Structure 1
Amino acid sequence: MISAVYDRARPQAEMPLSHPLVDRVFIGALVRDFYVRVRSDARLGPVFAAEIHGDWEPHLEKMTDFWCSVILKNGAYSGRPVPAHIKLKQVREEDFDVWLGHFRKTVEERCPPEVAEVFVDRAERIARSLKVAMFFRLEPPTAGAAG
């Protein structure tokens, strides 16, 4: 009985998206279209420009790997997104809503609805996770603090 309750409460592993349109080439094109929007955004453009100097291609390839791992579950990405984002002191919590707006618009224009739904759902969860990591961190207790 307890095992059945535990199994229902435990998050289920996401399955790879299987759709004839969605492969690395498709995801790479989507990533590039998305970053065209981000780079031209008055708020986000300067944030990214402060971190990515010169050739954007390595970042775009890394983000293609990331999204291939998220969507296709192919293990292409081996980075650590949370530490990479925590170091960005100029990012504000509301920037994630702007990011998600550009992402939604990009996938809605490029993807059939059932594919867009998967991309947006996973992007929203990633944004929530990064916001929690960046803006809602508990400070460690100080030495000698009563507990």
Structure 2
Amino acid sequence: MTESKHDIESREDIVIMVNTFYERVRQDELIGPVFESRINDNWAPHLATMHDFWYTLLFGKEAYRGNPFAKHIGLPIQGEHFQQWLRLFNTTLDELFEGSRKELAKKKAASIAEVFQAKLNGRLIGGK
């Protein structure tokens, strides 16, 4: 019998979500190389930061402080990269969890992608 899914309920669930997602990112032909070019062999610190980031977003606990957008400036990313990032993120969530916090994570991710794209486009248009 297969284990039933549950909602994202703990930091441990965040760790599973983030680690599973980024394992898929690293294997993805479109966005994997973009992440590898920026992160290189520093995946452990990146994953720890992402655990804190998503824990803060989904549980309202202040574990993350920083400017996530700043890390993305200068990356060769466009709309299709954000679409693939969201596709992988949502697939990971759907396979692992069910419930309202999972849906909140999807909404937060979509909002992040939208804001980052707008800022990157604005920066390119306004800065040149």
Pick the TM interval, shorter chain.
0.7 to 0.9
Aligned to 1:76: 63
Q: Between Structure 1 and Structure 2, how many residues are aligned?
A: 122
Larger relative helix fraction: 2
Give, in whole Å, the separation in 1 of the partners of 2:15 and 2:66.
17
Give, as a single letter, the amino acid of the residue that structure 1 aligns with 2:115: S
Give, as a single letter, the amino acid of the residue that structure 1 aligns with 2:120: M
Give, in whole Å, the separation in 2 of the partners of 1:78 and 1:115.
21
Q: In the superposition, relative to structure 1, how do residues 20 and 135 fare at CA in structure 2: closer, same or farther (>3 Å)?
A: closer
Q: In structure 2, the residue corresponding to 1:76 is in which secondary structure?
A: coil
Q: Check whether the contact 2:8–2:14 (CA below 8 A) recurs between aligned residues.
A: no
Q: How does 1:7-86 map to 2 (within 5 A)?
A: 21-86=8-73
Q: In the superposition, relative to structure 1, how do residues 41 and 21 fare at CA in structure 2: closer, same or farther (>3 Å)?
A: closer
Relative to the length of structure 1, the TM-score reads: 0.76
Give, in whole Å, the separation in 1 of the partners of 2:58 and 2:102.
11
Q: How does 1:93-132 map to 2 (within 5 A)?
A: 93-132=79-118
Question: Following TM superposition, by how much is the alpha carbon of 1:115 offset from its aligned partner in structure 2, in angstroms?
Answer: 2.9
Q: CA RMSD in A?
A: 1.9
Higher Cα Rg, which structure: 1
Question: Following TM superposition, by how much is the alpha carbon of 1:117 offset from its aligned partner in structure 2, in angstroms?
Answer: 1.1
Question: Following TM superposition, by how much is the alpha carbon of 1:20 offset from its aligned partner in structure 2, in angstroms?
Answer: 7.3
Q: Check whether the contact 1:86–1:133 (CA below 8 A) recurs between aligned residues.
A: no
Give, as a single letter, the amino acid of the residue that structure 1 aligns with 2:30: R
Q: In structure 1, the residue corresponding to 2:79 is in which secondary structure?
A: coil
Q: Which runs of 5 or more structure 2 residues have no equivalent in the other structure?
A: 1-5
Question: Following TM superposition, by how much is the alpha carbon of 1:92 offset from its aligned partner in structure 2, in angstroms?
Answer: 1.6
Q: Which runs of 5 or more structure 1 residues have no equivalent in the other structure?
A: 1-18, 141-147
Give, as a single letter, the amino acid of the residue that structure 2 aligns with 1:30: M
> Percent of aligned positions with the same letter in both sequences?
35
Question: Following TM superposition, by how much is the alpha carbon of 1:21 offset from its aligned partner in structure 2, in angstroms?
Answer: 4.6
